Structure 1
Amino acid sequence: MGNQYEQSKDELLEFLMNEYGQSITRLAFTYIKEKQLAEDIAQEAFIKCYQKLDEFRHESSYKTWIYSITVNLCKDKLRNWSFRNLIFSDFLSTRTKTTETPESRLLDFENNRIISEQIVSLPIKYREVIILYYYEEFTYNEISNLLNLKLSTIKSRLHRARLLLKRRLEGSTANGRHVQ
C-alpha cells in the first residue's frame, strides 16, 4: 500500500513541476537575477515540496504553496549572498506578445526588455508584488497570504511600485520612441 502512496506522491510532484516549473524559475529569477541560481532554487523548491507533501493541509492552493516555498528560499538566499553585481539577462521571455511585423516585434521586444530591466531593478518589496500581481496573476488576497503581509501593505506596495516604475519609464526610450 505504501508503494501506491509513493506513486501518487511522485505523480503529484511531476504534475506540479510540469504545471509550475517555468513560473517558479521565473519567480526565483526576479529575486535572484541570475539564471542558473534561479533554476537551482526552483529545483530546491520542488524537493522541499516533495518532502513536505504529507504536511500540506490544503489551506491554500498548490500554486500558492509552491510560490511561498520559492519566495522563502529566495529570501534566505538573498540574506546569505550578495547579488549586487549580477548582470540582468533575459527575463519574462515567455511573456512577450507576438505581433504582425518583424519591426513591431523588435519594438515590442525592446520595450519589454526596458520594462523588465526596470522591474528587476526595483527594491525586492516592490518587485515581488509587481511580479506576483501582473505576471503571475495572483489576487491581492493571495499575495497577502503568500508573503504573510497585511492586505493594506500589499495594496500600498503595489501602488508605490507602480509610481516608481512610471517615473523610471518616463525617461526611458526605445529606438527613439517612449515606452508605452
Structure 2
Amino acid sequence: MCTKEQIQLAMDEYGNMVLRLAYTYMKNQHDAEDVFQDVFIKLYEHMDRIQNGEHMKAWLIRVTVNVCKNKLKSFTHRKMDAYEEWIHSPSVDHRDRFEVMSAVTSLPVKYREVVHLFYYEGYQTKEIARLLKKRESTVRSLLARAREMLKNKLKGEYDFA
C-alpha cells in the first residue's frame, strides 16, 4: 500500500526531473506544474507496481512524456513568450544558458525529448530508445538532427558535438 511518505520521498528524489521534463514539452511553468501533479497522482494510484528506484525513475519519465503528449493534444495552445518564461525559470542558472535553453524549447517535441533525456537527464541512447519505445538508431538520428538544428539556431556559439 502507498503512503504519503513514499510519495513525498519520490517527489523529493524525482520531482525536479519530472518538472524539467514536463517544462521541455509544455514550454511554461504553469502547465509543467499541472503535469507534475498529474504524474504524482498517477504514481499514488500505481505505486504497488513499482519494483525499485530505477524502475520508478523510468516509469516517471514514461508517464511524464505521456501526460505531456496528452495535454498537448487536448490543449488549445496559446502562444506564450517562452523567452520570458525561461528567464524566470528556476532551471536557468545563467544568462549564457538562456539562448541554449530557448533554442532547445523551440525544437519540435520529438527532438526536444531526446535532447532533454540525453543532455539533462544523462541517459544513453540505448536507454532513451527503451524509454520512448523507439529504435536506438532512431534516437541517434533524432539527436544528430537536433544538434544540427541547434547549431543553426545558435550560429556556432556553442559546441554540441
Q: Same fold (TM over 0.5)?
A: yes
Say which SS state the counterpart of residue 61 (structure 1) adopts: helix
Max Rg structure: 1
In the aligned structure 1, how far is the partner of 2:103 from the partner of 2:77? Answer: 16
Aligned residue type for 1:53 = M
8 Å Cα contact 2:25-2:68 kept in structure 1: yes
8 Å Cα contact 1:13-1:50 kept in structure 2: yes
Aligned mate of 1:112, from 97, 116, 132: 97
Alignment of 1:55-70 (within 5 A): 55-57=49-51, 61-70=55-64
In the aligned structure 2, how far is the partner of 1:132 from the partner of 1:83? Answer: 24
Aligned mate of 1:27, from 14, 21, 24: 21
In the aligned structure 2, how far is the partner of 1:166 from the partner of 1:84? Answer: 27
Aligned mate of 1:90, from 86, 89, 94: 86
Per-residue deviation, residues 10-35 of structure 1 (Å, max 9, x unmatched): 33221110011122111111101121
Aligned mate of 1:138, from 123, 136, 139: 123
Structure 2 segments unaligned to the other structure (5+ residues):
none
In the aligned structure 1, how far is the partner of 2:121 from the partner of 2:7? Answer: 20
Q: CA deviation at 1:95?
A: 5.7
In the aligned structure 1, how far is the partner of 2:124 from the partner of 2:55? Answer: 13
Percent identity over the alignment?
A: 37
In the aligned structure 2, how far is the partner of 1:68 from the partner of 1:38? Answer: 15
How many residues align? The count is 156
Say which SS state the counterpart of residue 90 (structure 1) adopts: helix
CA-based RMSD: 2.2
8 Å Cα contact 1:133-1:139 kept in structure 2: yes
Using a 3 Å threshold, how does the CA distance of structure 1 residues 84 and 130 change in structure 2: closer, same or farther? farther
8 Å Cα contact 2:125-2:136 kept in structure 1: yes
In the aligned structure 2, how far is the partner of 1:117 from the partner of 1:15? Answer: 31
Aligned mate of 1:155, from 108, 127, 140: 140
In the aligned structure 2, how far is the partner of 1:57 from the partner of 1:154? Answer: 26
Q: What's the counterpart of residue 73 of structure 1?
A: 67
Q: CA deviation at 1:110?
A: 2.9
Instruction: Give yes or no for the alignment of 1:43 onto 2:37.
Output: yes
Q: CA deviation at 1:93?
A: 4.0
In the aligned structure 1, how far is the partner of 2:72 from the partner of 2:99? Answer: 24
8 Å Cα contact 2:86-2:92 kept in structure 1: no
Structure 1 segments unaligned to the other structure (5+ residues):
97-108, 172-177
In the aligned structure 2, how far is the partner of 1:158 from the partner of 1:63? Answer: 22
Please give the TM-score of this superposition, normalised by the length of structure 2. Answer: 0.87
